[in-house]
C-alpha cells in the first residue's frame, strides 16, 4: 500500500506536467508562434531546473522530501492556473518555467523516496514500480490535455490539469508517517559535483541517461508540432502520444522478468537502437495508424531503460548523496532539454522537421554502440 501511495503521489504531479507541456506546444501553435518560439517555450521547462537541480538534490538530502514536495505540488497548481487566468503567449513563458521547476522538485524528491524505501534488496523493484507509474501518467497526461482542449478550449484545459496537483497535496497532507529518506551524509566537508563526476560508473550513467532523455523529451516537442503541421486534431495527437506512454507501461511490466535474464547494459543498448530506428522512420509517415505504431515502438525502446538507469545510479551513489546524484543527472538532462528544443526549433524552422528526426536518430544509435561496449 505504501508503494501504491508513492506511485499515485508521483503520477498526479506527472499528469499535470506532461499534459501542460503538450498543451503549451499546441496553444503556442494556435496563437501563431513559430517553430523556434515553440522550441524556446519547451526549453523553458528545463532552463531553471538545469541551474537548481544539484542544489535541490542537496536540500532533499538534508531536509527530507516532504516539504519540497508540498512546495512543488503548490507550484504545479499555480503554473497550470496562469494560462487559464491569462491566456496569452507571454504567459506561457512564465508558466513553462514554473511548471518545469516544480516537476524537477517532484522528480528528485520521489526518486529519493523510492530509493530509500524497503532497503537495497527492493530497490530495483521499487524503481520498476515508479517507472510503471510514470508510464501510466505519461499516457493519461496527453489524453486529459487533448480532450480538455477540444471540449473546453486551451485556457480551461490548463485549469483541468491544475486539479491533479491539488489532489496530490491532499494526499501528502493526509499522510501521518514521514516519507522514507536515504541515510544522512557523514559529517564534515562536502565534496563538490566534480567529485561525483570522477566516479566512472556515474559518468557513464550520466551520459546514457542524457541521450535517452533527449529522445524522450524531444518526442514531446516533435510529435505535437509534426502532428499539427500535417493537420491532426489535438485529441488525435493526444491519442498518438498516449500510445507511446502505453508502450512504456507494457515494457515496464516485463522489466522485472527481463532484468533477471538480460544484462543491464544490453537492455540500455537495445533501448537506444530501437529508439533510433523509430526516429528515422517518423518523417516518412503521416497516417495516424503508422504514427501510433512508431510511437509504440519508441515507447518500448525508451521505456525499458529508465528503471535500469535509476537503479544503477542509486547503487553507484556515495552514501548520503543520492539526492545530489539525482540532481546532477537532472542537471545534465535539463541542459539537453533547454538547448536541444531551442536548436531543434530553429533547425526545423529553417530546414523542416526531417533533419531534426535524423539527427536525433543518429545520436541514439551512437549511444547504442557506446552502451554495447560497456557489456563485459
- Transcribe 42-92 into DSSP letters: HHHHHHHHHHHHHHHHHHHHHH-SHHHHHHHHHHHHHHHHHHHHS-SHHHH
Across 227-256, average pLDDT: 83
Domain that holds residue 47: 2-177+194-373
Across 315-319, average pLDDT: 71
Q: Three cell numbers at 59? A: 536540500
Residue 258 has pLDDT above 70, yes or no: yes
What mean pLDDT, rounded, does the chain reach? 83
Instruction: Classify residue 187 by burial, with Cβ atoms within 10 Å: 0-12, 13-18, 19+.
Output: exposed
pTM of the model as a whole: 0.71
Q: At what angle do helices 264-281 and 354-373 cross, to 10 degrees?
A: 160
Q: Pick from 171, 169, 146: which is nearest to 157 by CA?
A: 146
What does the pLDDT read at residue 187? 46
**CA 88 from centroid of its chain's CA atoms:** 26
Measure the CA angle with vertex 297, ends 293 and 298; round to 5°: 115
Which stretches within 317-374 are classed as H helix?
Answer: 322-351, 354-373
Q: Is residue 185 part of a domain?
A: no
Q: Is residue 213 part of a domain?
A: yes
Residue 78 has pLDDT above 70, yes or no: yes
CA gap 255, 262 in Å, rounded = 10
**17 vs 2, higher pLDDT:** 17
Residue 277's contacts (CB-CB under 8 Å, 6 or more residues apart) are 297, 361, 365
What is the band of 49 on the pLDDT scale with cuts at 50, 70, 90? Answer: confident
Residue 317's contacts (CB-CB under 8 Å, 6 or more residues apart) are 202, 324, 325
* Tally of domains in the chain: 1
Q: Is residue 100 part of a domain?
A: yes
What is the band of 4 on the pLDDT scale with cuts at 50, 70, 90? Answer: confident
Percent of the chain with pLDDT over 90: 25
**Cβ(15)–Cβ(137) below 8 Å:** yes
Residue 25 has pLDDT above 60, yes or no: yes
E strands, the chain, are: none
- Of the listed ranges 80-84, 94-98, 194-198, 222-226, the one predicted with least confidence: 194-198
What is the band of 184 on the pLDDT scale with cuts at 50, 70, 90? Answer: low
Instruction: Classify residue 305 by burial, with Cβ atoms within 10 Å: 0-12, 13-18, 19+.
Output: buried
**192 vs 89, higher pLDDT:** 89
Q: Is residue 287 part of a domain?
A: yes
**235 vs 188, higher pLDDT:** 235
**Biggest distance spanned by C-alpha atoms of the chain:** 60
What does the pLDDT read at residue 298? 92
What does the pLDDT read at residue 83? 93
CA gap 272, 131 in Å, rounded = 17
**360 vs 97, higher pLDDT:** 97
Residue 166 has pLDDT above 90, yes or no: yes
What does the pLDDT read at residue 302? 87
**164 vs 327, higher pLDDT:** 164
Q: Three cell numbers at 41? A: 517555450
Task: Find cell 537541480 and name the residue.
Answer: 53
Across 211-221, average pLDDT: 79
**63 vs 75, higher pLDDT:** 75
Across 31-44, average pLDDT: 84
Q: Is residue 182 part of a domain?
A: no
What does the pLDDT read at residue 337? 64
Helix (H/G/I), strand (E/B), else coil: 199 = coil
What does the pLDDT read at residue 307? 74
What does the pLDDT read at residue 188? 46
Residue 157 has pLDDT above 80, yes or no: yes
Across 146-170, average pLDDT: 93
Q: Is residue 148 part of a domain?
A: yes
**Cβ(164)–Cβ(13) below 8 Å:** yes
Q: Is residue 189 part of a domain?
A: no
Q: Pick from 146, 19, 167, 160: which is nearest to 81 by CA?
A: 160
Residue 123 has pLDDT above 80, yes or no: no
CA gap 201, 20 in Å, rounded = 34
Q: Pick from 332, 333, 312: which is nearest to 322 by CA?
A: 312
- R_g of the chain computed on alpha carbons: 19
CATH number at residue 335: 1.20.1250.20
Number of neighbours of residue 346 by Cβ within 10 angstroms = 16
**Cβ(76)–Cβ(13) below 8 Å:** yes
Residue 163 has pLDDT above 80, yes or no: yes
What is the band of 71 on the pLDDT scale with cuts at 50, 70, 90? Answer: very high
Helix (H/G/I), strand (E/B), else coil: 7 = helix
C-alpha distances (whole Å) from 164 to each of 74, 167, 220 are 11, 5, 20
Across 152-178, average pLDDT: 91
Residue 108's contacts (CB-CB under 8 Å, 6 or more residues apart) are 53, 56, 57, 60, 68, 323, 326, 327, 330
Q: Is residue 353 part of a domain?
A: yes
Q: How far apart are the first and last CA of the chain?
A: 38
Amino acid at each position: 500500500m505504501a508503494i501504491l501511495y508513492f506511485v499515485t503521489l508521483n503520477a498526479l504531479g506527472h499528469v499535470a506536467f506532461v499534459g501542460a507541456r503538450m498543451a503549451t506546444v499546441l496553444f503556442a501553435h494556435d496563437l501563431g508562434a513559430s517553430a523556434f518560439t515553440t522550441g524556446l517555450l519547451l526549453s523553458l521547462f528545463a532552463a531553471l531546473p538545469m541551474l537548481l537541480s544539484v542544489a535541490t538534490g542537496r536540500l532533499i538530502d538534508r531536509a527530507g522530501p516532504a516539504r519540497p514536495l508540498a512546495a512543488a505540488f503548490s507550484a504545479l497548481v499555480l503554473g497550470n492556473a496562469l494560462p487559464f487566468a491569462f491566456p496569452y503567449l507571454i504567459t506561457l513563458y512564465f508558466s513553462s518555467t514554473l511548471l518545469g521547476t516544480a516537476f524537477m522538485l517532484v522528480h528528485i524528491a520521489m526518486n529519493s523516496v523510492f530509493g530509500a524505501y524497503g532497503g537495497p534488496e527492493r530497490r530495483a523493484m521499487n524503481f520498476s514500480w515508479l517507472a510503471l507509474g510514470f508510464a501510466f501518467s505519461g499516457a493519461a497526461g496527453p489524453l486529459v490535455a487533448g480532450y480538455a482542449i477540444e471540449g473546453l478550449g486551451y485556457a480551461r484545459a490548463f485549469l483541468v490539469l491544475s486539479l491533479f496537483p491539488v489532489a496530490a497535496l491532499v494526499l501528502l497532507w493526509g499522510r501521518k508517517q514521514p516519507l522514507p529518506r536515504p541515510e544522512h551524509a557523514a559529517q564534515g566537508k562536502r565534496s563538490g559535483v566534480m567529485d561525483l563526476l570522477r566516479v566512472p560508473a556515474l559518468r557513464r550513467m550520466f551520459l546514457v541517461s542524457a541521450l535517452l532523455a533527449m529522445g524522450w523529451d524531444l518526442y514531446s516537442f516533435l510529435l505535437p508540432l509534426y502532428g499539427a503541421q500535417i493537420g491532426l486534431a489535438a485529441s488525435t495527437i493526444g491519442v498518438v502520444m498516449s500510445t507511446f506512454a502505453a508502450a512504456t507501461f507494457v515494457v515496464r511490466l516485463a522489466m522485472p522478468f527481463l532484468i533477471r535474464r538480460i544484462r543491464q547494459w544490453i537492455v540500455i543498448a537495445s533501448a537506444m537502437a530501437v529508439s533510433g530506428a523509430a526516429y528515422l522512420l517518423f518523417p516518412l509517415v503521416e497516417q495516424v495508424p503508422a504514427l501510433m505504431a512508431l510511437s509504440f515502438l519508441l515507447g518500448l525502446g525508451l521505456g525499458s531503460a529508465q528503471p535500469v538507469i535509476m537503479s544503477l545510479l542509486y547503487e553507484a551513489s556515495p552514501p548520503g548523496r543520492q539526492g545530489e546524484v539525482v540532481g546532477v543527472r537532472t542537471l545534465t538532462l535539463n541542459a539537453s532539454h533547454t538547448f536541444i528544443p531551442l536548436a531543434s526549433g530553429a533547425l526545423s524552422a529553417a530546414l523542416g522537421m526531417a533533419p531534426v528526426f535524423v539527427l536525433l536518430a543518429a545520436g541514439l544509435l551512437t549511444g547504442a554502440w557506446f552502451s554495447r561496449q560497456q557489456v563485459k
